[in-house]
Amino acid sequence: MRSSSPFHVLSTLELAAFVAFAASFVYLLIFFGVEFFRSLLLRPSSDLWADDCEDEKVVSVVAEGFLQKAPCGQALDGETPKLDFDPVKPAAPKAKPVETEKWDEQIDLSEEDEEVIASVVAGTTPSYSLESKLGDCRRAAAVRREALQRMTGKSLAGLPLEGFDYESILGQCCEMPVGYVQIPVGIAGPLELDGREYSVPMATTEGCLVASTNRGCKAIAMSGGANSILLRDGMTRAPVVRFGLAKRAAELKFYLESPANFEALSSVFNSSSRFARLQSIKGAIAGKNLYLRFSCSTGDAMGMNMVSKGVQNIMDFLQKDFPDMDVMGISSNFCSDKKPAAVNWIEGRGKSVVCEAVIKGDVVRKVLKTSVEALVELNMLKNLTGSAMAGALGGFNAHASNIVTAIYIATGQDPAQNVESSHCITMMEAVNDGKDLHVSVTMPSIEVGTVGGGTQLASQSACLNLLGVKGANREAPGSNSRLLATVVAGSVLAGELSDVSSRPASSSRAT
């Protein structure tokens, strides 16, 4: 037997022992080393994967069973890229999502949640009712999110769910939440304004914006700081009323604008809030329609709710003496909220602020890397003449809205009000025998508050706290929101200085 076997040096027993040893070696290899060997043997080809996502700005995405390439972070045809597939074998085409599929690692769902999700998907439970039905805002958001993903077949992975206080927005800030968007907050400053220093929070995804504003702050600080003056503080609301004849509309206009009636009207208006104080009423006639622009101070609140309540009080009061008056709308666009309008540019809305600084010639050269002469010339050509050529309305500036919007988002203002809040004329003039630069921004309608709306939320409130204007000012109501408006204007001043300095025309003439 020994001589007839090819393994004639081994006995049958020895042969069996060798085979057993080899088998257990292979088993151990598979058990511990499979990922390593698979990665060596089965490395995906460069057809499947971009070599370096950062360099190439592409990532391969397997979708619906075929390969495509899309920019980093961007889905194909609006689909969210799903990368949890076997990199070797393209995933089989996905069937339409089944109701029990879990889309999101963030969501921990109980059996009870699954039932609610099923009823939302089936349409028997309205999504908006989840907070009241479940009595738990975070759970309502999780359930709504999962139901939404199942109904749309789209993943929300990447939109955070956890780490947010959903109770704090209930009935105040956002309905039917499914998560929250993250926006980085950068700090520009210190901004030296009116003898104080401010670290200015800016929420933005625009690269260089914070850095540029920071450079402007530096130029201001090295020149002794900026100063601001609050010219006016009054929120407006304008209802439209209609009469049978223009004559009657005019009679009401004269009645409301008469100084003799102001006291009676203001006591009716002011009863809406301990902070609302009527300042003026202006009427504009269009045939038999009358547009009434009410203006009032609103303490530390931005004031839209407050002024609207005051206007409603006046409308009720007027019905007695003007029973033929039809109130067509409590807001007629003559206010004017969140739309570009000359009335805000000319009359102002919210806080009207002018802010100025004298930047030393030396600082213009060293920090802004340009010259006083070049800045004055470009400001005239761009912010004044260029904007006039474009038929601008309040847009006589380089990028006020960039700074306004970033501060508004960080501090919980209504970002849609950036429209009129960004109205700004930037002036630059050579002073001190042409050595230094006088720069100013005049902003007639900065609409900000430090109470109400988004200002109460944790992150936004932290940013207000950083500026020292969190919440209501108890000693002097209104002074927090007024201070915030001056900080907005001061930051815009810094942004304008830096932006105009960085234009090619001026930099080519630097020094």
Catalog residues that contact ligand ADP under the rule CB under 6 A. Answer: 273, 275, 298-306, 449, 451-453, 472-473, 477
Provide the 10 A C-beta neighbour count for residue 349: 28
Least CB distance to ligand ADP at residue 288 (A): 31
**Closest CB to ligand ADP among residues 218, 293:** 293
Least CB distance to ligand ADP at residue 450 (A): 8
Exposure string over 160-190, b if 16+ CB within 10 A, otherwise e: ebeebebeebeeeeeeebbbbeeeebbbbbb
Asked if residues 400 and 441 have their Cβ atoms less than 8 Å apart, the reply is: yes
**Closest CB to ligand ADP among residues 213, 273:** 273
Least CB distance to ligand ADP at residue 456 (A): 9
Least CB distance to ligand ADP at residue 281 (A): 19
Least CB distance to ligand ADP at residue 279 (A): 15
Q: At what angle do helices 209-222 and 479-501 cross, to 10 degrees?
A: 100
Least CB distance to ligand ADP at residue 448 (A): 10
Alpha-carbon dihedral angle through residues 36, 40, 46, 50, given to the nearest 10 degrees: 20
Cα–Cα distance, 239 to 337 (Å, whole number):
12
**Closest CB to ligand ADP among residues 349, 382:** 349
**Closest CB to ligand ADP among residues 155, 305:** 305
Pairing of strands 277-286, 326-329: unpaired
Q: Which residue has the tokens 């499979």?
A: 34
Least CB distance to ligand ADP at residue 337 (A): 11
Least CB distance to ligand ADP at residue 182 (A): 25
Asked if residues 394 and 420 have their Cβ atoms less than 8 Å apart, the reply is: yes
Q: Which residue has the tokens 């060798």?
A: 18
**Closest CB to ligand ADP among residues 163, 171:** 171
Pairing of strands 436-446, 350-359: antiparallel
Residue 145 sits at φ, ψ, to 5 deg, of -60, -45
Least CB distance to ligand ADP at residue 236 (A): 12
**Closest CB to ligand ADP among residues 161, 296:** 296
Nearest to 241 by CA among 327, 331, 330: 327
Least CB distance to ligand ADP at residue 235 (A): 8
Residue 121, both tokens: 């998907």
Asked if residues 90 and 65 have their Cβ atoms less than 8 Å apart, the reply is: yes
**Closest CB to ligand ADP among residues 304, 464:** 304
Amino acid at 225: G
What's the DSSP call for residue 62? Answer: E
Least CB distance to ligand ADP at residue 200 (A): 22
Cα–Cα distance, 330 to 332 (Å, whole number):
6
Residue 187: its H or E element = strand 185-193
**Closest CB to ligand ADP among residues 69, 274:** 274
Cα–Cα distance, 19 to 348 (Å, whole number):
92
Asked if residues 377 and 248 have their Cβ atoms less than 8 Å apart, the reply is: no
Residue 138 sits at φ, ψ, to 5 deg, of -65, -40
**Closest CB to ligand ADP among residues 236, 501:** 236
Least CB distance to ligand ADP at residue 434 (A): 46
Asked if residues 472 and 480 have their Cβ atoms less than 8 Å apart, the reply is: yes
**With 0-12 CB in 10 A as exposed, 13-18 as middle and 19+ as buried, what is 140?**
buried
**Closest CB to ligand ADP among residues 216, 454:** 454
Amino acid at 109: L
Q: Could you give the residue ranges of the DSSP H alpha helices within 60-202? A: 111-122, 130-134, 137-152
**Closest CB to ligand ADP among residues 234, 452:** 452
**With 0-12 CB in 10 A as exposed, 13-18 as middle and 19+ as buried, what is 9?**
exposed
Residue nearest to ligand ADP (CB): 299
**Closest CB to ligand ADP among residues 287, 468:** 468
